[in-house]
Structure 1
Amino acid sequence: MRPSVKTIAINASVVTALVAGGVAYMTFDNAVSLSVDGETETVHTFAGNVEDVLDGQGIEIGPHDEVVPSLDSKVEDGTEINVRYGRQLTVTVDGTEQTVWTTALSVDEALAELGIRHEGAEVSVARSRDIDRSGLNFEVQTPKDVTLVADGDTREVTTTALTVREALADVDVELGDRDIIEPSLDTKLSSEAEIVVKRVTVKKDTVEREIDFETVEKEDDSLEVGVTQVETEGKKGLLERRVEKTFIDGELDKTKKLSEKVVEEPVDKVILVGTKEPEPEPEPEPDPPADDDDGGSDGGGGGSDDNVDGGVWDRLAQCESGGDWSINTGNGYYGGLQFNLQTWQAYGGSGYPHENSKAEQIRIAEKLRDDRGGYGAWPACAAKLGLPT
C-alpha cells in the first residue's frame, strides 16, 4: 500500500527537525579541558564562561583557590581550564612559625613558591610529599654561611644550625667550661654571622716578692753630735704569694691573689746618731825650752813618749791598712788608721786623712783615743794587738 501524501509530509517534518537539532547541538556544545589539582579530563558544555563550566561540574571556588583563565573568561571549543585548590601550610623556618596559603601540590614546590632557600636546607618531611587539601605542618632549617674564628684559625662554614651552640657542635668545635664565645651560645644564628671562640685557661702559681726594710735612727750619747754609725745593717724580707693567672688565647689577661704569707720578716736598718757635745780642745802646752845637751835628745821624756806612741800607732796602722799612711781604698775609710771622714773632721782633722802626714794622723788618733778612753775606735785590731778599749 502506498503511503499517503499526508504521511510522507509528516515523516519529512520529523526528519527535518532531527537534522536541525543535531546541527544546533554540534554548534553550541564545546569540548573543554578541565584540570583540577593536576587531574585532567575533557568535558562538554554549553556554558558561556569559565565560572559556568565549573558550576556545571559542581566545583566550588574559595578565596585561596587559583583558576586560570579567570572566572569571567569566555569558553570556546578547546579551552583549557586549570583549577588549584588552596592549602594552608604552617611552616616553621629557622624557629619562626608562619601560616601561609599555597596552591603548591608538593613540599618542594611550596618551598620554591614561598621563596625559602631550600637547597641544602633540612626539612622535617620529605620534599616529594604531596600536600592534600587539608594542608600540612613542617619545619625548615635553612643553610647559613658563617665565619668561625677559633684556635688561631679563621674559616668559612655553612650550617643549618639554629643557634651558635648548634653551629659549633655541627663543625665539631669542643668548648671548655671557661671559654668565651661571642656572640653567646644561645644567640639565634643568621647568615653572614661571625662566631669567635676565645680559649680561657687558668693556672695557679706561687711567686715571691721582696719586702723592703725600714731605716730607723737611734740617738746615742756615746757619739758626738754630727757622727753617725750603722748599728744594724738592713735586710729585706721575703713574701710568698699564691696567685691564679687567667690566660685568653695564651695571653695573660689577669692575675688574682689567692693567699700570701711572710716567709722572712725584714730587718730594719738601725743608724746611731750622736748626741754627745764635743769637749773643748785643751789649750796647747808651751814648747819646752831648747836643750843643747846632746844626751838630752837621746834620753829626754818627750822623746821617750814619742817613741812609745809611734810604735803603737805603727802596729795599728800595719793591722788596719798594711802600714800605708796615704791609702785610699774607696770604701769610705782613709789613711794608715782608716778614719772615716766624719770622725776625722769631728776631732779637728782637715781635708782627708790620707792627705795628711803620719804625724797629723797620729795626733788626731791620740785625741780620739783619749776621748774614748782607749783604742775602741779600732775594735778588731785593738783586740788583735791586745790594746785596751
Structure 2
Amino acid sequence: MIDIPYSTQSITEADIAAVVDVLRSPYLTQGPKIEAFERAIAELHDTAHAVAVCNATAALHIACMALDLGPNDRLWTSPISFVASANCGRYCGAKVDFVDIDPVTRNISVEVLADKLAAAERDGTLPKIVVPVDFGGFPVDMAAIRELADTYGFAIVEDASHAVGAQYRDRPVGQGADITILSFHPVKIVTTGEGGVAMTDDEGLASRLRLLRSHGVTRDPAQIERQDEGGWYYEQVTLGYNYRMTDLQAALGLSQLERLPELWAARERLSRRYDEKLAGLPLFTPPRAGDKQSAHHLYPIEIDPARSNVSRRALFDALREDGIGANVHYIPIHLQPDYRRLGFGSGDFPAAEEYYRRAVTIPLYPALTDAQQDRVIESLSRTLG
C-alpha cells in the first residue's frame, strides 16, 4: 500500500470557501474570476498578458496556432517532458523533432541546440518554434536560447508547466519567450484542478490566444467583419476551440496563489533537506545554480552507475514495497510507440535515454513531513547500500 505519494495537492478551507463562493454567484464560467486570475498570474510573472485555458496542453496548442505553425513547419522540443510538449506541434500538422538534454540540468542542451540549428540552416530545415521545457521547475538558459532565436528566426514557446514561481536571473520565468505556458494540474505548485495559462507581452498574440480558446468567436467591434446587427451579434472569425477555464477553477487558483510563497518555501526546505541527507549515496540530485531558482515541482534522482550497480527497476520496486509512491519523469517522448512510427528510435538522443535508464522521482510536496521524508531516505539508503 502506497502511503507516501510522489506528490499531492494542497487544499485548505480557504480554497474550498473560494470555490463555494463562486457556486453561490451568478457566474460559473466566463465570469469575473477568470480576469482576476489572469491579472494575478500576469503580475506574478511580470508579463503583460495571461490567457487562462482549461489545461496546459490546450495552452500549448493555441500558442502554436497563434504563431501560425502549420503543415510545412517544424517544432523542436525536449525528449524529456510529458508528451504534450511535442504533441502540440502535431496538432497543427507540423513535423516534430527533439533536441537532446544537458545531463546536469536535464533541460535542452544549448550546445546541442546550436549545433542542430547550424546544420538545419544548411539543410533548409530550421524550426519555426522551439519549445524548451523547465524540467522539474528548473529554468532553461533562456538568454542563450533567445540569442539563438534571434539569429535563426524561430519563435520560443517556453513550457514552464513545472515552473510557476521559478526565477531566472532574478526575474520570473517567461522573460525572453514569445509565449510561456503554465500548468495548474493538481500535483503542480499551484492548482486549479485542471488548468493552464499562456502568457505573452505581445498584444497581438494575446488577442489571438483569447480568440482561439473560445471557438474563434468574437463580439469585439474591431474584429467583426460584417455590420453589427444588434446586441446579440457575434461572429466566428477563425476556427477555434472550447478551451475556456471556469470561474470555479480560477477562484481556486486565486486562493492558491495567496499561498505561493509558503508553498514554494516548503518545497525549497524539503529539497535542501534531501540534498543534504542524500549526499553520501550513489545518486545525482536535481541541479542548483546561482542565477536560477527552481520551483521544485519534482525531485528526480539518478543512480550513479560508477558508484552503484543497482538498477532503476530494483530501486523503484524497493521504494514501492516500502509504501513510497516513486514515479519516473519521463519516458523519452521519442521512444513512445506513436513516435517510433514516425521514424524515431533508440539511440537518437543518448543523453535523454541515459537519464531515463537511471531516473526515479521521489516524493516532494508541501505536506510531506520530516518523518515521511526520513522514511524515503532510509529506503533509498537501504537499497543502495
User: Which band: TM-score by shorter chain?
Assistant: under 0.3
Report the TM-score, using the length of structure 1 for normalisation.
0.17
Report the TM-score, using the length of structure 2 for normalisation.
0.17
Higher fraction of helix:
2
